Structure 1
Amino acid sequence: MNTTTPTREPVPEKREPVLNTVDRVTELCFGLFMALTFVGAIKAVTAGEDTGRKLFLAALGCNLAWGLADAVMFLVRTLADRGQRLSLALTVKREPDRAAAVRALRDALPKALEPLVEDDELELIRARLAAAPTLPPRAHFRRDDFIGAAGIFLLVVVSTFPVALPLLLVKDHVIALIISRVLTLAMLFGAGFALGRYTGAGAMKAGFAMTLLGAVLTMAIIALGG
Structure 2
Amino acid sequence: MNTAMQTRQDEPEKREPILNTVDRVSELCFGLFMALTFVGAVKAVTAGENAAHKMFFAALGCNLAWGLADAVMYLVRTLADRGKRLKLALTVQREPDQAAAVRALRDALPEALGPLVEDADLERIRVRLAAATTLPPRANFVRDDFVGALGIFLLVVLGTFPVALPFLLVADVKTALIASRVLTLAMLFTAGYVLGRYSGAGEWRAGCAMTALGVLLTIAIIMLGG
What is the TM-score with the length of structure 1 in the denominator?
Answer: 0.93
Aligned partner of 1:135 in structure 2 is: 135
Aligned partner of 1:165 in structure 2 is: 165
**Equivalent residues, number:** 222
Supply the distance in 2 between the matched residues of 1:121 and 1:168 (Cα, whole angstroms).
Answer: 59
Aligned partner of 1:16 in structure 2 is: 16
The structure in which a higher percent of residues are helix is 2
Aligned partner of 1:189 in structure 2 is: 189
Supply the distance in 2 between the matched residues of 1:160 and 1:15 (Cα, whole angstroms).
Answer: 28
Aligned partner of 1:217 in structure 2 is: 217
Aligned partner of 1:85 in structure 2 is: 85
Supply the distance in 1 between the matched residues of 2:161 and 2:111 (Cα, whole angstroms).
Answer: 41
78-87 or 170-179, which deviates more: 170-179
> How far off its partner does 1:13 sit?
3.8
Structure 2: give runs of 5+ residues left out of the alignment.
Answer: none
79-88 or 93-102, which deviates more: 93-102
Supply the distance in 1 between the matched residues of 2:159 and 2:57 (Cα, whole angstroms).
Answer: 14
Task: Summarize deviations over 1:1-30 as a string: whole Å, max 9, x none.
Answer: xxxx64834475431111111111111111
What is the TM-score with the length of structure 2 in the denominator?
Answer: 0.93
Supply the distance in 2 between the matched residues of 1:69 and 1:180 (Cα, whole angstroms).
Answer: 23
Tell me which amino acid in the other structure corresponds to 1:93.
Q
Contact 1:56 1:164 in 2 (8 A): yes
Residue 45 in 1 paired to residue 45 in 2? yes
Q: Secondary structure of 1:96's match?
A: coil
124-133 or 11-20, which deviates more: 11-20
Distance 1:133 1:44, change over 3 A: closer
Aligned partner of 2:144 in structure 1 is: 144
Distance 1:12 1:91, change over 3 A: farther
Pairing 1:83-122 to 2, within 5 Å after superposition: 83-122=83-122
Contact 1:21 1:198 in 2 (8 A): yes
Aligned partner of 1:35 in structure 2 is: 35
Structure 1: give runs of 5+ residues left out of the alignment.
Answer: none
167-176 or 137-146, which deviates more: 167-176
Supply the distance in 2 between the matched residues of 1:30 and 1:127 (Cα, whole angstroms).
Answer: 42
Supply the distance in 1 between the matched residues of 2:41 and 2:215 (Cα, whole angstroms).
Answer: 16
Aligned partner of 1:75 in structure 2 is: 75
Contact 2:63 2:161 in 1 (8 A): no
Supply the distance in 2 between the matched residues of 1:6 and 1:130 (Cα, whole angstroms).
Answer: 35
**Identical counterparts, % of pairs:** 77
Supply the distance in 2 between the matched residues of 1:42 and 1:110 (Cα, whole angstroms).
Answer: 43
185-194 or 7-16, which deviates more: 7-16
Tell me which amino acid in the other structure corresponds to 2:117.
V
Tell me which amino acid in the other structure corresponds to 2:133.
P
Supply the distance in 1 between the matched residues of 2:183 and 2:195 (Cα, whole angstroms).
Answer: 18
Q: Secondary structure of 1:184's match?
A: helix
Contact 2:52 2:172 in 1 (8 A): no
Supply the distance in 1 between the matched residues of 2:84 and 2:44 (Cα, whole angstroms).
Answer: 47
200-209 or 9-18, which deviates more: 9-18
